[in-house]
Amino acid sequence: MTSHQILHPATWKKAAGYANGILAEGRTVWIGGQIGWNGDQVFEAHDLVGQTRQTLENVLAILAEAGGRPEHIVRMTWYVKDKRDYLANLKGIGEAYRGAMGRHFPAMTMVQVADLIEDEAVVEIEATAVLPG
């Protein structure tokens, strides 16, 4: 388990599914944007839920190379091509997320983008993790 503190002003309404800020100390791992293809760079899923699952697995595979686990992630930025597709699939995306990340919710940002570099990609996720010193 990483040593971190969730930063959420006491006078603010409770955050829904993410932390507003995290204070952490340790070794930092920056994970560049991952997409929903497998290790052979082949898309096995073409839908947002399937690609989200694979993308999160890719993030965690890179993190594991540094000895990290999901609870070490302190920040994620999600880039989706279609906000409506995301909102229509919240249940499946939530299941994919919990399957990979458990009940750990780092500081997160989600942005709808016009496109991603890989034509078949519908989501891209980058992350920062802090491993214990």
| 37 neighbors 54 (Cβ within 8 angstroms) | yes
pLDDT at 17: 66
Global pTM reads 0.93
Residue 41's alpha-carbon distances to 34, 36, 58, in angstroms, are 11, 9, 11
Domain that holds residue 113: 4-131
Binned average pLDDT, 10 residues per bin, the chain of 133 residues: 76 78 93 98 98 98 98 97 98 98 94 97 98 90
Question: What CATH number does residue 57 fall under?
Answer: 3.30.1330.40
Our count of domains for the chain comes to: 1
Decide: helix, strand or coil at residue 105: coil
